Amino acid sequence: MQDSLCEVAYHEDMGHSYYRIGLRTGWRGFVPGQFGMLEVPRADGILLRRPFSFARQQGDVTEIFYKKVGKGTEALSLVGVGRSLRLLGPLGQGFRETSSAGEGVGVAGGYGIAPFVQMAKQLKAKGRRLQLFYGARSKQDLFYIQEFKELEVKLYISTEDGSEGLRGRVTDLLDKTFANSPPERIWSCGPMGLLKAVQNWSQRKKTSCELSVEETMGCGTGVCLGCVVQDVQGHYRRACIEGPVFPGELLNLTD
């Protein structure tokens, strides 16, 4: 983990408020699910860095996939290629590998797709395959489809409006696919509703899951205590240090 000034290698507007930005970190890689605290231009009274999970490592460039949702991401979206931004990372605990040599199973919702790009790369490099259940609002909110095809990912898509794949929830796809025996473990990243659904599903099927939580973050280094998530014993745990990926059995998720 380090804090360094990273040049913007590329910055693409993907449409519908989604962007991907490549930063020259010089890293060799990261664990899928790990994140970084990125300094965004301090316009308009912006104070804190913003947390983003990493999508993939290509050479010395680390890619972040993000959606413009507020002041910080708005300021970030205007940053041009060649500029440099401070990035602190890689931070936190990523997804743990499964012991079996078979297929890994991921469930992504919305921009929670990011860590699965690197996950697919890493599994493929080991001669394994990612089975990915990808839910989004509609067709235009689906990204990295081409990349997943190239990485030989077994892709199952659902959209809320039915404009692509199954109309409905991504857990419906899980029910269909794993009617008999559930996978050893499910990795999931997405909005709270999805994480809860995956947690419930895993509990019902008596299997384990790992959930990547999205929380407001102040520092990313464990000192502000602003990003906690409650465990089943009622203790608050820091998402930036002990997470953002937690064993599903550990968390007491609320809205």
Partner 1 sequence: MTNLATSIGGLKLKNPLIAASGTFGYGEDLEQFFPVEMLGAVSTKGLSLKPREGNPMPRIVETPSGMINAIGLQNVGIEAFVRDKLPFLEKRGVVTIANIFGNTLDEYVEIAGILEKTSVPAVELNISCPNVKAGGMEFGNDPQMAAKVTEAVRRSFSRHLMVKLSPNVTSISNIAKHVEVAGADSLSMINTITAMVVNTKTRRPMIANGVGGLSGPAIRPIAVRMVAETFAAVKIPIVGIGGIVCANDVLEFMIAGSCAVQVGTANFMDPNACPRILQELEAYLQSASLASLSEVIGTLRR
Q: Where along the sequence are the contacts to partner 1 (CB under 8 A)?
A: 1, 3, 44-49, 72, 86, 88, 215-216, 218-219, 221-230, 234-236
Q: Looking at this protein, which amino acid is placed at residue 131?
A: Q
| Least distance between partner 1 and beta carbon 30 (Å) | 16
| Least distance between partner 1 and beta carbon 215 (Å) | 7
Which one, 181 or 254, has the nearer CB to partner 1?
254
Per the listing, tokens 């000034």 go with: 5
| Least distance between partner 1 and beta carbon 90 (Å) | 13
| Assigned token pair, 144 | 């990295």
Which one, 88 or 108, has the nearer CB to partner 1?
88
Among 32, 43, 92, 131, CA closest to 221 = 92
Which one, 10 or 236, has the nearer CB to partner 1?
236
Which one, 3 or 160, has the nearer CB to partner 1?
3
What does the alpha-carbon distance between residue 119 and residue 156 come to, in Å, rounded to a whole number?
16
Ranges of beta strands (E only) in 1-112 are 2-15, 18-24, 35-38, 50-58, 61-67, 84-91, 104-109
Which one, 191 or 218, has the nearer CB to partner 1?
218
| Least distance between partner 1 and beta carbon 70 (Å) | 9
Which one, 39 or 63, has the nearer CB to partner 1?
39
* Rg, Å, the chain Cα set: 18
Strand partners, 130: 104
Per the listing, tokens 């794993």 go with: 178
Q: Looking at this protein, which amino acid is placed at residue 239?
A: A
User: Phi and psi of 27, rounded to 5°?
Assistant: -75, 160
| Least distance between partner 1 and beta carbon 68 (Å) | 16
| Least distance between partner 1 and beta carbon 228 (Å) | 6
| Least distance between partner 1 and beta carbon 54 (Å) | 19
Alpha-carbon distance values, 228 to 157, 221, 243 (Å): 31, 12, 9
What does the alpha-carbon distance between residue 184 and residue 12 come to, in Å, rounded to a whole number?
36
Taking the C-alpha atoms of 143, 120, 94 and 99 in order, what is their torsion angle to the nearest 10 degrees? 150
What does the alpha-carbon distance between residue 136 and residue 156 come to, in Å, rounded to a whole number?
11
Which one, 72 or 135, has the nearer CB to partner 1?
72
